[in-house]
Amino acid sequence: MDPGCLRDSFARVAMHGDQVALFFYSDLFLRHPETRELFPVSMAAQRDRLLNALGQIVADADKLDRLAPFLQGLGRDHRKFGALADHYGPVGESLLATLAHFSGDAWTPELAAEWNAAYQLVAQVMTDAAATDARRNPASWDATVLSHELRTFDVAVVRVATVQPLYYLPGQSVALEHPLRPRLWRYYSMANAPREDSTIDFHVRMIDGGPVSMALTRATDVGSWLRLGAPVGTLMLDTHSGRNVLLVAGSTGLAPIKALAEQLDGLPNPPTTHLFFGAQRAEGLYDLPALEKLAATAPWLHITACVFDDPRFAGERGYLPDIVARHGPWNGYDAYLAGSTTMTDATANRLVSLGVPDNQIHIEDFGWSEP
């Protein structure tokens, strides 16, 4: 395999941008119509993902130590989409047809052989990882909705029970598929430490125009079925640091933070912990009673509720990062932040400027932003 040759070839093809992925999927669906079922109606996001993944694979083609884990993750990840080992052949066929189409005269039998060898390797690593994973875990977990509470007009707390046990660490999240929005997967954090009865809570905030979040907040009832992917995420409690703990949650960023707080509660000697929970308005503090209940039996846990824009709120008012900074110093603390990108970025910056080392700051960025 010649990584340089593949890179040059891919650069020529990638010039055509979205067209490449468009051609690839049309070719695949025409040759193997049954594969269309595996994808959502709109393919726009899917095409971006394909090109990005291909770009990364080609860029790292000679760095196997980086490429292998990426491909293994990709292989495992595709199980929940219903991808089977049998699909890899057709995909390879269409991929080569696409490369040939956009390479024009530069497509030679030698180049075709290079690409074919590279694809076989990629497919092998992905299917191997998927097969290994299949020995331990289902492709996805079916879950039934036990309760659905609309806490504010745009935040719902959904409790589900999985049919098969789902093992995860507090702070992790899963991709979630709603029956009304087939083949659209969105990540949500588990909002509790694992329970004996294998029930899981999710905190869902309705994003304006977000197809999955709208279905989850507005069109989900007790008895609805959801599908969950394998747990992912790196917001994990460092239980050996010996430091105190600072937890900062903006809106439904509370979900992983609450799971961490519950995990701390289960430790024999929980460290002193400060939890800041912020919302735009007082009504957005949708889970404050549960936090206060937890704090009532946990002398190590201190809770500060903050509201950004509500002059009638009696507690802390202002921008969450400012309020957190005001309550410092936090040098001796491990900080865990979850919420909108703007909030987590700003808080991390404030903490760094207050002298908290980078490696003590752990972030779960929810992707959405908020003024």
Interface positions with other proteins (CB under 8 A):
16-19, 22-23, 25-27, 29-30, 41-44, 101, 104, 153-154, 179-182, 206, 208-209, 211, 214-215, 218-219, 312
Phi, psi of 193 (to 5 degrees): -70, 150
Q: What is the smallest separation between the CB atom of 8 and other proteins, expressed in angstroms?
A: 20
Q: What is the smallest separation between the CB atom of 31 and other proteins, expressed in angstroms?
A: 9
Q: What is the smallest separation between the CB atom of 224 and other proteins, expressed in angstroms?
A: 10
160/224 Cα distance (integer angstroms): 9
Phi, psi of 336 (to 5 degrees): -125, 120
Which residue, 114 or 309, is less far from other proteins as judged by CB? Answer: 309
Q: What is the smallest separation between the CB atom of 285 and other proteins, expressed in angstroms?
A: 16
Structure tokens at 246: 């600072």
- SS3 assignment, position 203: strand
Which residue, 93 or 133, is less far from other proteins as judged by CB? Answer: 93
Helix (H) or strand (E) holding 112: helix 109-136
CB atoms within 10 A of CB 178: 21
Which residue, 169 or 180, is less far from other proteins as judged by CB? Answer: 180
Which residue, 7 or 101, is less far from other proteins as judged by CB? Answer: 101
Residue type, 150: L
Which residue, 136 or 312, is less far from other proteins as judged by CB? Answer: 312
Structure tokens at 347: 């808080």
Displacement of CA 8 from its chain's centroid (Å) = 32
Q: What is the smallest separation between the CB atom of 214 and other proteins, expressed in angstroms?
A: 5
Which residue, 46 or 304, is less far from other proteins as judged by CB? Answer: 46
- SS3 assignment, position 302: strand
- DSSP bridge partners of 274: 246, 302
Do the bridges between strand 199-205 and strand 155-162 make them parallel or antiparallel, or are there none, so unpaired?
antiparallel
Q: What is the smallest separation between the CB atom of 17 and other proteins, expressed in angstroms?
A: 7
